[in-house]
Amino acid sequence: MAETQKTGIKNADELIALADAFGLTVTVETTDRETLTSYVVRFAIPVPVAYAGTELGRTIAGDTITLLWTKAKKKGARGCLVDATVWSVVSHRKVRTLREVDAAVRTLGHSSAKYARDAAPLPEDVVDAPHALYINGELRREGIPAERVRTYVKNRRFAGRLTHQDADGAIICDTRRYAPMPSAPAEETPAPAEERMHVRIANGGTPELLESRDALEEINHAMMDGKRDVREMSEGRGNARIVYRDQRGTVTLRRATAEDIAAYAPAPEPAAPVEAAPLFAALAAYEATVLCTSPRDLDDLARHLHAVGKAAPTAHHREVLEAEADVVEGAWESLRTAGNLRARNAANDKARAAVERARAAILAVAPHAHRMHGTDLPSTAEEIRAAAVAYNAVGSTPEELSAVETGTPQVRVRCSSDSGTGRKVTATITAGVDTPQGFLPAHPAIVETFHRRDGREDAAANARKVIGALFRVAVPVEYVRKSRG
């Protein structure tokens, strides 16, 4: 690890040592002048690899502290703190005393530890194999037990230190890299934790894959509660051979290798095309069922149902088409031709029944269509474009829909404070496409309310601090401040 930079000013060096203890990134820029030497000291949070390139990563990188120190060149001169600024991605503030600077550094350090813990791998994610230690890319040691590496990962998580696991399963921290060593042919290395599988063979039949958790449960049950049903059993290192007394016969369980997973994994079901976006077509259709009373409203609902039918899975086509027929052929025609009060009342009853059936058909296609959930927010540019086309398929002009392909996908957060004390902040979240014709939303707005965290900053800055870390999107997030209302 590189040696911590110093300034020669006691108070500045104490703050640098404090930031270094928290694992913050410290940079010192020195400028010599005729009568004095100035030092610009910056403290920043190192961005975890898992957050690099995300909105949260940009927020983390923007939280810094900048200090300007000066010291005269005459004998006995003492250092002086000229300026201290705490920066965020949306604002900055000045701090006046060393006590405030110390508190700001500690706050930054605690935030760094939290981000590091959230992004660090778990001890059980360490590959169950001996590891080789590389320092600055140079091999230093081999045969480190996996249990020792797990302890190291656990201790670094507790301390809030940056730890990362790459695609090869190696644990990376600072300049050290603990890479799993290839095992001998007789001892196969299990897959990483998220892909750990077993092979189960019953009575010499076709091998099938199952999760290791289920396989170990069967082994434990055969050894403990179900041992009365077992005639013979052998077990070792997660592999087992069980001979049951009943019709289950002989079952062999062993850890799956990469070749097993490739050979026996079931073929993935074909994914629905992104262009279909049935959820967002259903969200638009469900909105059309609200206050649906006039013939024009029913005509719009029928067009929405037609769009849902084109996007829905094949199993729901008939249900959606029948609901569309009810609206068009029954309720719409009855309302349009009703000539007296009795006929109008009967037509209204028929329209309400048709709307209820349409809602049931929409919810059968997308159970979440009655309300937009934050977990359904589209996260990539392609998903947002597809959702915008599906959500605006009815009621938008061809020019607006064609502009989606050339527009800029983004998440827009409109923030406002209440008209009383201003403590309550309302954030309206919408993913969509910014086009020359305007912002085209991809779903109904999500509304979040919370109390402001910092009274010195506006609603947009408070929203970024409170809900900014919740976004897991690969597009820009724009915070827009509205006037109080």
- In terms of pTM, does the model score above 0.85? no
- Domain of 296, in residue numbers: 278-365
Q: What is the pLDDT of residue 317?
A: 64
Q: Choose one of 67, 84, 119: the last residue of a domain.
A: 119
Residue 373 lies in a domain: no
Residue 388 lies in a domain: no
CB contact set of 199 (below 8 Å; sequence gap of 6+) = 207, 208, 209, 252, 253, 254, 255, 256, 260, 264
Buried b (16+ CB within 10 A) or exposed e, 466-476: bbbbebebebe
Residue 189 lies in a domain: no
From CA 3, how far away is CA 250, in angstroms rounded? 62
Task: Please calculate the CA angle 64-67-71 and round it to the nearest 5 degrees.
Answer: 160
Task: Give all strands (DSSP E) within 183-307, no chain letters.
Answer: 197-202, 208-211, 230-236, 239-244, 250-255
Residues 246 and 282 in one domain: no
Residues 407 and 342 in one domain: no
Q: What is the pLDDT of residue 231?
A: 87
The stretches of 22-145 forming alpha helices (DSSP H) are 55-62, 98-119
Residues forming a β-bridge with 477: 411
Residue 49 lies in a domain: yes
Residue 161, CA distances (Å) to 5, 45, 109, 157 in order: 20, 11, 10, 6
Domain count, the chain: 5
- The position carrying tokens 């694992």 is 23
From CA 177, how far away is CA 115, in angstroms rounded? 20
Residue 419 lies in a domain: yes
Residues 107 and 130 in one domain: no
Q: What is the pLDDT of residue 325?
A: 62
Residue 100, CA distances (Å) to 69, 85, 161 in order: 16, 11, 25
- 143, two tokens: 């045969």
Residue 383 lies in a domain: no
Q: Are 180 and 130 in contact (CB under 8 A)?
A: yes
Residues 289 and 353 in one domain: yes
Residues 231 and 312 in one domain: no
DSSP secondary structure of 167-190: TTS-EEETTEEEEEPPPPTTSPPP
Q: What is the pLDDT of residue 469?
A: 73
Q: What is the pLDDT of residue 14?
A: 93
Residues of the chain predicted below pLDDT 70: 1-4, 183-195, 266-277, 293, 315-318, 321, 323-337, 483-485
Around Cβ 287, how many Cβ atoms within 10 Å?
18
> In which element (H, E) is residue 364 found?
helix 341-365
Positive or negative, the CA dihedral 426, 432, 435, 440 is negative
Residues 304 and 343 in one domain: yes
Q: Are 342 and 334 in contact (CB under 8 A)?
A: no
Residue 237 lies in a domain: yes
Q: What is the pLDDT of residue 236?
A: 74
Residue 454 lies in a domain: yes
> How far, rounded to the nearest angstrom, does the alpha carbon of residue 53 sit from its chain's CA centroid?
13
Q: Is 473 helix (H, G, I), strand (E, B) or coil?
A: coil
Residues 84 and 128 in one domain: no
From CA 238, how far away is CA 199, in angstroms rounded? 11
Q: What is the pLDDT of residue 133?
A: 92
Q: In the Cβ-directed half-sphere of 63, how many Cα atoms lie within 13 Å?
A: 22
Q: What is the pLDDT of residue 333?
A: 64
> How far, rounded to the nearest angstrom, does the alpha carbon of residue 194 sit from its chain's CA centroid?
17
